[in-house]
Amino acid sequence: MPATEYQGSFLGRISIRRNQIASMDGNHEQDLEDLEIFQKHVADRFSDLLSASDATADASVDPLLSIAWLRKLLDVFLCCEAEFKALVFMGRDPSHIARPPLDRLIPELLERVVKALDVCNAVTHGVESVRHWHKLAEIAVTALEQRPIGEGQVRRAKKALSSLVASMTVEDKESINSKATERAWSFGRRGSKDRIAGQFRSLSWTVSKSWSAAKQIQLMLGNIAAPRGAESTGLASPVFVMSIVLSFVTWTLVAAIPCQERSGLPTHFPIPRQLPWAQSIIGLQDRIGEDWKKKEKKGSAGLLEEMQKMEKLGQSLIEFADSFHFPAEPERVEEVAAQVTELAETCRKMEEGLGPLQQQIREVFHRMVRSRGEMLDILDQAGKVSSPIM
């Protein structure tokens, strides 16, 4: 991915120049040029991500909302964030930040960051549920990979898959209706229904009781406004870009991965359609927004590509199990084998990707905490400069 390549040169460029020009106000022309480069980088990075949604046939491209794609998205976020900080803060006099409109825009951005941190945590808990489903799918794969497929294997697979499909539904129902829905489905022989349903609740340990991911995203988007007039060439612009990038990334995570209370998740972003750098983000947002609307109708657990696949394959394999008689007809076995291979492949992607994804979400979390601290320090300094101690 070229993202990191040009990032180095961008950061280098800024740091060298800022060292040369020690002027308080910076150089407006240079700033403008930096802003343009920054916006171009944002545009390029997101257009890479967008190309995934068009090139479904191309196996070398990670499909939209797959684990690998989400990891790229987080990479993009980290790159944008680093450049944003360089552009707005590096080598700049703190007093510059303390002036309107930045004295208002930066604290607003930091508010959004705090909300994004909570979302990161909620999503991290959500990944725990996904890990659980992954284990259930693995059981089914292990059972159905055995040859010949016997009654015992089929029943073992069915048990795991029923539990998988049902708990995906419970997860989603719970996160949508917020109160525990006792689903009527059976797991073990003596397992009373609510007992089993209740077991999964711990996997989605809440952020706090009344917290809602959808609400947080709404709040993040609530007061974002594109800079106008003279502001659009000043530092208000990168703050706007960063606010959009941050909100988009958190929103996407919430759409993809089950997490606490997602009903009412916004499907539209307040981005003026004519902004050149925002085209890819708008494109992605439209795509994912559409998928989300469909998902809400259908009631599946999340847009994560691997999960959707798992759910689809799971249902199909349950059907197979329901009509199974030993010995199975060879055509059926072949058909099932193909599905099992696909499920195994999905499991492999989860096995390889979920841990790193979870770690990367933590990395994003830590980065935001650090950056927020740094920005607060700068604001603090700026505050002290404007009211010096005698």
Partner 1 sequence: MEKPPPEKSGSFSGHNVESHPPESEAEGELEDRENAKESSSISDSALPQVSQDIDGFLSHLSLHDDKSNPPDVPDSVEVFCKLVEAMIGNYDSGDSSARFGQVPEEDTAFVESVGRISKLMNALRGFPVESPAAAMYGRSGSVLQRAMSFLEDELRTLLEDSRSHISDSKSLKTKHPSFNSKEDHDRCPLPESESTGDDEYPAYPPEVVASMKKIAMAMISAGYETECCQVFSILRRNAFKEAINKLGFDSISIDDVQKMHWETLEGEIAKWIKVVKHCSLILFPGERRFAESVFEDYPEIFSSQFSNLARATVIHFLNFAEAVAMTKRSAEKLFKFLDMYESLRDLVPAISSPTSDDNGHELKSETMTAGSRLGEAAVSIFCDLENSIKSDVSKTPVPSGAVHPLTRYTMNYLKYACEYKDTLEEVFQQHQKIERTDEAGSDVDERSSQNNSRLPVKQTPFATQLIAVMDLLDSNLDTKSKLYKDMSLRYIFLMNNGRYILQKIKGSSEIHEVMGDTWCRRRSSDLRQYHKNYQRETWSKVLQCLRDEGLQVNGKVNKPVLKERFKTFNTLFDEIHKTQSTWVVSDEQLQSELRVSISAVMIPAYRSFLARFSQYLDSGRQTEKYVKYQPDDIETSIDELFDGNPTSMTRKRT
Q: Which residues bind partner 1 (CB under 8 A)?
A: 114-115, 117-118, 121, 124, 128, 132, 135-136, 138-139, 142, 146-148, 150-153, 155-156, 159-160, 188-191, 195, 198-203, 205-209, 211, 216, 326-327, 355, 359, 362, 365-366, 369, 372-373, 389-390
Nearer of residues 147 and 179 to partner 1, judged by Cβ:
147
Instruction: Supply the minimum distance, in Å, between the C-beta of residue 312 and partner 1.
Output: 22
Phi and psi (nearest 5°) for 59?
-70, -20
Structure tokens at 118: 């909570």
Instruction: Supply the minimum distance, in Å, between the C-beta of residue 119 and partner 1.
Output: 10
Q: What is the rounded CA–CA span in Å between residue 172 and residue 298?
A: 11
Nearer of residues 273 and 325 to partner 1, judged by Cβ:
325
Instruction: Supply the minimum distance, in Å, between the C-beta of residue 159 and partner 1.
Output: 7
Nearer of residues 14 and 117 to partner 1, judged by Cβ:
117
DSSP state of 160: H
Q: What is the rounded CA–CA span in Å between residue 69 and residue 64?
A: 6
Instruction: Supply the minimum distance, in Å, between the C-beta of residue 360 and partner 1.
Output: 12
Q: What is the rounded CA–CA span in Å between residue 205 and residue 229?
A: 46
Instruction: Supply the minimum distance, in Å, between the C-beta of residue 264 and partner 1.
Output: 17
Nearer of residues 45 and 134 to partner 1, judged by Cβ:
134
Please enumerate in sequence order all residues whose Cβ is within 8 A of that of 63, keeping only pairs 6 or more positions apart, or say none: 52, 56, 69, 305
Structure tokens at 149: 């497929």
Instruction: Supply the minimum distance, in Å, between the C-beta of residue 273 and partner 1.
Output: 31
Nearer of residues 45 and 112 to partner 1, judged by Cβ:
112
Q: What is the rounded CA–CA span in Å between residue 328 and residue 337?
A: 12
Q: What is the rounded CA–CA span in Å between residue 169 and residue 171?
A: 5
Instruction: Supply the minimum distance, in Å, between the C-beta of residue 17 and partner 1.
Output: 23
Closest by CA to 283, choosing from 6, 8, 19, 43, is: 43
Nearer of residues 116 and 265 to partner 1, judged by Cβ:
116
CB 285 within 8 A of CB 248: yes
Rg (CA), the chain: 24
Nearer of residues 289 and 356 to partner 1, judged by Cβ:
356
CB 371 within 8 A of CB 85: yes
